[in-house]
């Protein structure tokens, strides 16, 4: 078998009735919401999608309106509704008070302490555990990586996109663990975003995949987003992707080959949603635990897709993260 490297060295820490205005309603987290805005659909507006209606009346972007709907902050005729609902004349649309896009407040963090992998002038990196989102989708969420960072570095608020995405430089899937970098200052956010956009970064992931990947290989495929909710990516041979596709390259190297699985190092040259997961699945080596791209069963029981961001280098910033315990337990059983 090929040798698996030892632990990586870590960087030094541094319910409404129709037509009636409702009293304040309690969110799930116990925070009281402000009174409702009540709107009435006119004859001219009949047939509009709910999200389009909200953008016109509230001056929001389509995405901001969708976040209100996802957070169940909108009711039509007293009931929560989906963005695609076609409105009828005379219907009452009730919207909880909200912050303007980019001005939302991040709630106090209430999760476990995260390890700070490194920090410097205008930036900080944390070791994100599997199961934790990068940032909240609504002001009531308290258990995301951004909530943690904002609780310790209050100056992050308003940086970059601001609001619920303040300081976010890049993203990891919810069940992907490992290095997550945030910008604490606007100048650094622009610098880091430019580096990611220009592919001036080195990103290394470790994954456990189905089957035996015997030799190193660099692959290129055309990827496109085939579905948005839940998100899913389609992979096509190079040159066959057509409109909406992006060519994405990934270097793969087996670190340890087991009887029915392989520990793989993955280095994505580009950056695309689900790039590593979708690429490996297309090659016949889906990640263990990946129920979106892989089979329903695995050689050993796993609780999430086994993908870990283990190294990130940008300019003079170098960050490393060791494999988490759940990852190591699976390797011991293979």
The residues annotated as belonging to the active site are 173
State which H helix or E strand residue 319 sits in. Answer: strand 317-320
Pairwise CA distance, residues 276 & 248, whole Å: 10
Pairwise CA distance, residues 179 & 309, whole Å: 5
Phi, psi of 49 (to 5 degrees): -65, 150
Q: What is the DSSP letter of 12?
A: P
* Strand pairing category for 246-257 and 217-228: antiparallel
Helix axis angle for 50-58 and 62-70, nearest 10°, is 120
Pairwise CA distance, residues 275 & 170, whole Å: 14
Partners of residue 79 on adjacent β-strands:
76
Find all residues with CB under 8 Å of 36, minimum gap 6, and list them: 16, 21, 22, 25, 94, 95, 96, 97
């Amino acid at each position: 078998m090929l040798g698996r490297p030892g632990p990586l060295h870590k960087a030094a820490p541094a319910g409404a009735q129709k037509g009636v205005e409702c009293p304040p309603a309690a969110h799930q987290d116990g925070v009281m919401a402000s009174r409702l805005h009540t709107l009435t659909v006119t004859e001219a507006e009949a047939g509009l999608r709910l999200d389009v209606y909200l953008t016109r009346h509230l001056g929001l972007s389509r995405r901001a309106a969708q976040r209100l709907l996802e957070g169940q902050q909108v009711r039509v005729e007293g009931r929560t509704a989906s963005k695609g609902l076609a409105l009828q004349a005379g219907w009452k649309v009730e919207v909880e008070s909200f912050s303007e896009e980019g001005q939302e407040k991040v709630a106090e963090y209430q999760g476990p302490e995260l390890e700070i992998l490194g920090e410097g002038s205008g930036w900080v990196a944390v070791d994100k555990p599997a199961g934790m989102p990068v940032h909240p989708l609504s002001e009531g969420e308290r258990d995301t990586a951004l909530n943690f960072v904002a609780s310790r570095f209050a100056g992050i608020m308003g940086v970059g996109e601001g609001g619920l995405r303040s300081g976010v430089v890049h993203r990891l899937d919810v069940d992907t663990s490992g290095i997550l970098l945030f910008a604490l200052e606007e100048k650094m956010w622009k610098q880091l975003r430019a580096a990611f956009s220009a592919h001036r970064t080195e990103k290394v992931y470790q994954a456990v995949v189905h089957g035996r990947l015997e030799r190193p290989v660099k692959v290129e495929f055309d990827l496109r987003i085939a579905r948005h909710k839940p998100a899913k990516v389609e992979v096509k041979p190079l040159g066959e992707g057509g409109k909406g596709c992006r060519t994405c390259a990934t270097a793969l190297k087996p670190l340890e080959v087991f009887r029915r699985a392989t520990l793989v190092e993955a280095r994505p040259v580009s950056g695309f949603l689900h790039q590593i997961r979708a690429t490996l699945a297309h090659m016949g080596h889906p990640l263990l635990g990946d129920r979106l791209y892989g089979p329903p069963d695995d050689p050993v029981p796993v609780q999430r897709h086994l993908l870990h961001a283990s190294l990130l280098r940008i300019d003079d910033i170098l960050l490393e993260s060791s494999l988490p315990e759940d990852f190591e337990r699976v390797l011991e059983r293979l």
